[in-house]
């Protein structure tokens, strides 16, 4: 037993109030604040994530007969450095949009249409795409330009991957339906969270051009070619063994097996070529037998076609759909819009800019609201606790005078009452934090998900960031400071003045 | 070794802000010695500066506008004047090591147990109750004060009577190791029996250890005559200013009293003299 322990123990008991009323009151203030801060901060983080999306500095202009000449003129102007600097433009690229049919395992091996768009491999958007929000990439880190590495490759959205039932750990191809109905495997270069223009597939202008012309893949009938994803050597030997049996292959040298470089380097992907000239079975029977091979069950496989290696394409037969302009920042975009209207009679869709401005506005409102909430909470907690302590000490003034007369130092009493303040705060903060965390997680998991479409990778409630830590420190600091001032103000009187209640 | 506890020289006590011309002088004492190892009582009318003198001697308030007080601790002495108040740590140290207090109000901590309240003076001084047989000592002193320790030890002050609380505050003062115990009307809330009991225990404590002294303010002239070794009477000088005149210091002498003029007095004569000294035939 010591004076310190007796005082802290008893004063804590006295100050926590009847039925712990002081702690319960503080608990509710803090619980509500923690809950609000947890949701608001996460919403703000999400807002910032949206506003920092890689495509927010892009605007598109519609390409059609009426705008073709103006857009070509504009593209030429943008090629001049001075013009680009004037409007903070980084570059301009023509692109096309279209629908692509993709084979979906989850849709009973039927094709589903997805929106696709082209991009210029040299544009900054490729870097932007692969800089943030990449779920998986299937090319070496040393590759500077992914479309030079694989000009026939595509970048797909995670939504598409999930929708067609493939796994990002092993996917190497998606099978797109050609105009003549073949399911052509196209190498996947990367899976990303989001693609521009809400597309699910992105490929180069060249690839798009080639798909618009006949012969972008080899339909040679002298071979049955199949690809098999994610299979070890033992597995492929089983496939071959079964193939020989079901296709009645007498000469194994007519079957060639090659490891494909495409796709995830952590797994093995195979190409099997089966010569058909010496095989008596009809083509459709062979295909059916291959499709039903037991050794291929639970593996992504399909017919394999070699894609055209052409590095140029005649695009004179079709229009572009859009001219995409990439900006360094959007500071001059309104001026640019006026210029387009006056000089080129082009109408710039400023929806993107409005979105960006809205993000910034709502972001600032969110920051302001959080700050206000935190300040109000800090003020209310500190005023409440220091008020409780001040009132308690005013009632105990004579007793404090008696303590001082007995030889207790002012600094000792100040220190002990600060301890009591911290003890009360901790007694309220710890349960408030735990209950707020549990409530927030419960809301996020069971209620929010039923009301809204949630981004699975986004945390909608979080109290584990530096903001929250600073907030707690601020509550402690301000409350302790106020207690310090209140106690010091009372103890500045002499013991005699406190005992005899003089105001000198 | 000096046999005096305090020696007062040209003391003037006043209230009000320092540097303010309106500081109100309430007490003047030209020269006065308060002996060590004795029970000294200070008597006077209400507002005569009795509490001021206790506060000044007990370092509870900085009222000294002139003069000084020398406080003797055996061979050592400390000068108490205005300057000492510039050193709060010295004041705290002197209070902590030497002084104990009992007031008319009990000032027990309402949320502490009776036992904690009794021991708080000792705890403030830094004593560790685990090192001595606390319970036995508490039981003994409670018994002397006609309190049942086992019955009251876990109770809170609000569960006790006014008289019990006052006796507890006395126990708190007496348990704290001290050289001087200051009391401001310590028997004010007690009946005659308990007042006498308190004074007896106090006297016993002082008599057991001659390094201990008691300086008490009281309105109770018969009790003071019965229990005090010295009586100092505060008399009006002019207006609201009071002083202790040399003839108004009374000390116990064998079976009677002598005053400052070396007159031998009976208890009855002393009471008359005290009443005469306070200048009013009103009850003091």
pLDDT tens-digit map of B118-146: 988 888 988 766 655 667 788 888 998 89
How close does chain B come to A18, measured CA to CA in Å? 12
How close does chain A come to B94, measured CA to CA in Å? 8
Position A23 scores a pLDDT of: 93
pLDDT at A229 over 80: yes
Position A105 scores a pLDDT of: 83
Any B CB within 8 A of A361 CB: no
Between A139 and A424, residue with greater pLDDT: A424
Between A116 and A456, residue with greater pLDDT: A116
Residues of B in Cβ contact (< 8 Å) with A500: 51, 55
pLDDT at A224 over 90: no
The pair of structure tokens assigned to B69 is 């007080």
Position A120 scores a pLDDT of: 83
> Which chain A residue shows the shortest CA-CA distance from B15?
A504
B124–A6 CB contact, under 8 Å: no
How close does chain B come to A364, measured CA to CA in Å? 49
pLDDT at B257 over 60: yes
Position B201 scores a pLDDT of: 92
The pair of structure tokens assigned to A69 is 């000449």
Residues of A in Cβ contact (< 8 Å) with B97: 407
Instruction: Write the residue in A14, A407, A496 that is nearest to B55 by C-beta.
Output: A496
Distance in angstroms (rounded) separating the CA atoms of residues A233 and B106: 93
Distance in angstroms (rounded) separating the CA atoms of residues A213 and A207: 10
Which string of DSSP letters, residue by residue, matches B102-154?
Answer: EESS----TTS-HHHHHHHHHHHTT--GGGTTHHHHHHHHHHHTT--HHHHTT
pLDDT at A504 over 70: no
A407–B96 CB contact, under 8 Å: yes
Position B179 scores a pLDDT of: 92
Instruction: Write the residue in B61, B121, B129 that is nearest to A494 by C-beta.
Output: B61
pLDDT at A451 over 80: no
Residues of B in Cβ contact (< 8 Å) with A3: 120, 123-124, 126
Best B49, B54, B109, B168 member to test A by mutation, with max A CBs in 10 Å, is B109
Any B CB within 8 A of A365 CB: no
Phi/psi at B161 (5° precision): -80, 165
Residue pair B110/B157 in contact by the 8 Å Cβ criterion: yes
> Which chain A residue shows the shortest CA-CA distance from B102?
A402
Residue pair A151/A268 in contact by the 8 Å Cβ criterion: no
A504–B97 CB contact, under 8 Å: no
Q: Give how far Cα A481 sits from Cα of A17, A218, A449, A493, B276, Å.
A: 22, 79, 42, 19, 56
Between B197 and B240, residue with greater pLDDT: B197
Position B129 scores a pLDDT of: 61
Distance in angstroms (rounded) separating the CA atoms of residues A274 and A247: 10
The DSSP bridge partners found for residue A327 are: A89
Sheet hosting strand B4-15, strand order edge to edge: B76-80, B64-73, B4-15, B24-35, B241-243, B235-238
pLDDT at B283 over 50: no
> Which segment of A191-195, A252-256, B134-138 scores lowest on mean pLDDT?
B134-138
Position B281 scores a pLDDT of: 46
The pair of structure tokens assigned to A36 is 């609000």
Any B CB within 8 A of A14 CB: yes
Q: Give how far Cα B266 sits from Cα of A153, B225, B255, B272, Å.
A: 124, 10, 8, 10
Residue pair B13/B82 in contact by the 8 Å Cβ criterion: no
Residue pair B63/B88 in contact by the 8 Å Cβ criterion: no
Q: pLDDT tens digit string along A269-317?
A: 899 988 877 677 787 888 888 888 888 888 888 888 888 888 888 776 6
Residues of A in Cβ contact (< 8 Å) with B58: 405
pLDDT at A27 over 90: yes
Q: What is the mean pLDDT of residues B88-111?
A: 91
SS3 assignment, position A61: strand
Q: What is the mean pLDDT of residues B224-244?
A: 82
Any B CB within 8 A of A504 CB: yes
B105–A398 CB contact, under 8 Å: yes
Q: What is the mean pLDDT of residues A67-74?
A: 87
A405–B101 CB contact, under 8 Å: yes
How high is the mean pLDDT of chain A?
Answer: 85
Q: What is the torsion angle, in degrees rounded to the nearest 10, for the CA atoms of residue B13, residue B16, residue B18 and residue B24?
A: -50
> Which segment of A26-40, A225-239, A361-375 scores lowest on mean pLDDT?
A361-375
Instruction: Write the residue in A407, A502, A504 that is nearest to B125 by C-beta.
Output: A407
Q: What is the mean pLDDT of residues B65-83?
A: 87
Distance in angstroms (rounded) separating the CA atoms of residues B120 and A405: 12
Q: pLDDT tens digit string along A315-354?
A: 766 677 888 888 887 778 888 888 988 988 888 776 666 7
Best A1, A393, A402 member to test B by mutation, with max B CBs in 10 Å, is A402
A6–B120 CB contact, under 8 Å: yes
pLDDT at B23 over 80: no
CA atoms within 13 A of residue A370's CA, in its CB half-sphere? 21
Domain spans of chain B, in order of start: 4-49+60-277
Residue pair A229/A263 in contact by the 8 Å Cβ criterion: yes
Q: How confident is the model at residue B284 (pLDDT cuts 50, 70, 90)?
A: very low
Find out if CATH 3.40.50.880 is the number for domain B4-49+60-277: no
Position B198 scores a pLDDT of: 92
Residue pair B80/B89 in contact by the 8 Å Cβ criterion: no
> Which chain B residue shows the shortest CA-CA distance from A398?
B107
Position B20 scores a pLDDT of: 63
Pick from A290, A301, A172: which is nearest to A227 by CA?
A301
How high is the mean pLDDT of chain B?
Answer: 85
Residues of A in Cβ contact (< 8 Å) with B55: 496, 500
Exposure of B171 by Cβ count < 10 A (0-12 exposed, 13-18 middle, 19+ buried)? buried
Q: What is the mean pLDDT of residues A425-432?
A: 94
Q: What is the mean pLDDT of residues B193-210?
A: 90
Any B CB within 8 A of A495 CB: yes
Interface of B with A (CB under 8 A): 15-17, 51, 55, 58, 60-62, 88-89, 92-97, 99-101, 103, 105, 107-112, 116, 119-121, 123-126, 128-130, 176
> Which chain A residue shows the shortest CA-CA distance from B182?
A405
Q: pLDDT tens digit string along A452-491?
A: 666 666 677 778 788 888 889 999 999 999 999 999 999 9
Position A481 scores a pLDDT of: 93
Q: What is the mean pLDDT of residues A120-127?
A: 78
Position A278 scores a pLDDT of: 67
> A-B interface: how many C-beta pairs under 8 angstroms?
88
Q: What is the mean pLDDT of residues A62-91?
A: 88
Position A352 scores a pLDDT of: 63
B129–A1 CB contact, under 8 Å: yes
pTM of the full predicted structure? 0.67
B103–A407 CB contact, under 8 Å: no
Q: How confident is the model at residue A179 (pLDDT cuts 50, 70, 90)?
A: confident
How close does chain B come to A6, measured CA to CA in Å? 8
Instruction: Write the residue in B60, B111, B123 that is nearest to A496 by C-beta.
Output: B60
Instruction: Write the residue in A3, A410, A499 that is nearest to B124 by C-beta.
Output: A3
Best B102, B120, B126, B180 member to test A by mutation, with max A CBs in 10 Å, is B120
A494–B17 CB contact, under 8 Å: no
Distance in angstroms (rounded) separating the CA atoms of residues A307 and A309: 6
pLDDT > 90: percent of chain A: 24
Spell out a b/e string for B146-169, using b for 16 or more CB atoms within 10 Å of the CB, else e: ebebeebbeebbeebeebbbbbbb
């Amino acid at each position: 037993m010591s004076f310190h322990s007796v005082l802290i123990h008893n004063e804590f008991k006295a100050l926590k109030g009847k039925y712990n009323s002081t702690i319960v009151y503080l608990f509710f203030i803090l619980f509500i604040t923690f809950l609000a801060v947890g949701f608001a901060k996460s919403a703000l983080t999400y807002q910032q994530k949206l506003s920092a999306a890689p495509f927010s500095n892009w605007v598109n202009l519609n390409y059609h007969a009426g705008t073709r000449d103006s857009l070509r003129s504009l593209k030429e102007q943008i090629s001049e450095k001075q013009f680009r600097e004037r409007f903070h433009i980084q570059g301009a690229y023509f692109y096309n949009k279209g629908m692509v049919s993709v084979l979906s395992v989850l849709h009973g091996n039927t094709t589903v249409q997805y929106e696709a768009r082209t991009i210029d491999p040299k544009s900054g958007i490729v870097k932007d795409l692969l800089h943030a929000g990449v779920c998986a990439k299937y090319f070496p880190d040393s590759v500077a330009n992914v479309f030079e590495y694989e000009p026939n490759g595509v970048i797909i959205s995670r939504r598409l991957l999930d929708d067609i039932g493939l796994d990002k750990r092993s996917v190497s191809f998606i099978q797109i339906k050609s105009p003549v109905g073949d399911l052509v495997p196209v190498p996947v270069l990367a899976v990303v969270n989001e693609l521009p223009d809400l597309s699910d597939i992105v490929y180069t202008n060249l690839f798009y051009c080639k798909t618009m012309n006949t012969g972008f893949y080899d339909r040679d009938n002298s071979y049955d070619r199949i690809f098999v994803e994610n299979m070890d050597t033992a597995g492929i030997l089983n496939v071959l063994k079964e193939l020989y049996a079901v296709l009645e292959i007498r000469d194994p040298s007519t079957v060639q097996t090659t490891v494909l470089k495409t796709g995830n380097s952590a797994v093995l992907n195979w190409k099997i070529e089966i010569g058909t000239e010496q095989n008596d079975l009809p083509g459709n029977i062979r295909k059916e037998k291959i499709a039903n091979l037991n050794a291929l069950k639970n593996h992504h496989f399909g017919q394999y076609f070699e894609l055209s290696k052409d590095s140029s394409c005649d695009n004179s037969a079709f229009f572009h759909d859009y001219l995409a302009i990439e900006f360094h920042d959007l500071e001059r975009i309104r001026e640019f819009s006026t210029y387009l209207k006056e000089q080129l009679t082009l109408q710039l869709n400023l929806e993107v800019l409005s979105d960006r401005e809205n993000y910034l506005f709502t972001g600032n409102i969110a920051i302001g609201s959080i700050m206000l909430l935190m300040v109000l909470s800090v003020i209310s907690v500190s005023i409440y606790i220091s008020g409780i302590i001040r009132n308690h000490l005013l009632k105990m003034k004579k007793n404090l005078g008696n303590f001082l007369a007995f030889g207790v130092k002012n600094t000792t009493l100040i220190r002990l009452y600060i301890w009591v303040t911290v003890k009360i705060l901790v007694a309220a903060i710890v349960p408030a934090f735990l209950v707020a965390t549990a409530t927030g997680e419960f809301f996020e998991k069971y209620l929010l998900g039923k009301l809204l479409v949630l981004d699975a990778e986004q945390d909608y409630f979080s109290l584990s960031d530096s903001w929250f830590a600073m907030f707690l420190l601020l509550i402690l600091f301000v409350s302790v400071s106020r207690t310090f001032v209140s106690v010091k103000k009372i103890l500045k009187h002499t013991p005699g003045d406190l005992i005899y209640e003089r105001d000198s | 070794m000096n046999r005096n506890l305090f020696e007062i020289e040209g003391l003037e006590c006043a209230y009000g802000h320092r540097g303010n011309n309106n500081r109100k002088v309430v007490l003047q004492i030209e020269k006065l010695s308060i002996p060590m190892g004795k029970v000294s009582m200070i008597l006077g009318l209400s507002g005569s500066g009795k509490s001021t003198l206790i506060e000044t001697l007990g370092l509870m308030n900085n009222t000294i506008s002139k003069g000084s007080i020398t406080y003797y601790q055996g061979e050592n002495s400390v000068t108490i004047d205005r300057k000492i108040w510039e050193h709060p740590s010295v004041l705290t140290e002197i209070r902590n090591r030497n002084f104990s207090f009992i007031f008319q109000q009990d000032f027990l901590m309402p949320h502490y147990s009776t036992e904690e309240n009794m021991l708080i003076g000792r705890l403030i001084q830094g004593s560790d109750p685990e090192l001595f047989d606390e319970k036995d000592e508490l039981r003994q002193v409670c018994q002397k004060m006609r309190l049942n320790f086992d019955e009251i030890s876990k109770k809170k002050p609000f569960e006790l009577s006014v008289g019990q609380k006052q006796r507890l505050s006395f126990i708190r003062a007496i348990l704290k190791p001290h050289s001087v115990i200051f009391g401001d009307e310590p028997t004010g809330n007690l009946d005659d029996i308990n007042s006498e009991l308190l004074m007896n225990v106090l006297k016993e404590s002082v008599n057991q250890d001659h390094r201990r002294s008691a300086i008490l303010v009281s309105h109770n002239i018969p009790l003071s005559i019965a229990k005090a070794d010295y009586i100092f009477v505060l008399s009006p000088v002019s207006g609201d200013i009071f002083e202790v005149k040399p003839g108004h210091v009374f000390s116990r002498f064998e079976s009677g009293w002598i005053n400052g003029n070396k007159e031998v007095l009976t208890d009855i004569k002393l009471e008359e003299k005290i009443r005469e000294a306070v200048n009013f035939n009103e009850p003091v």
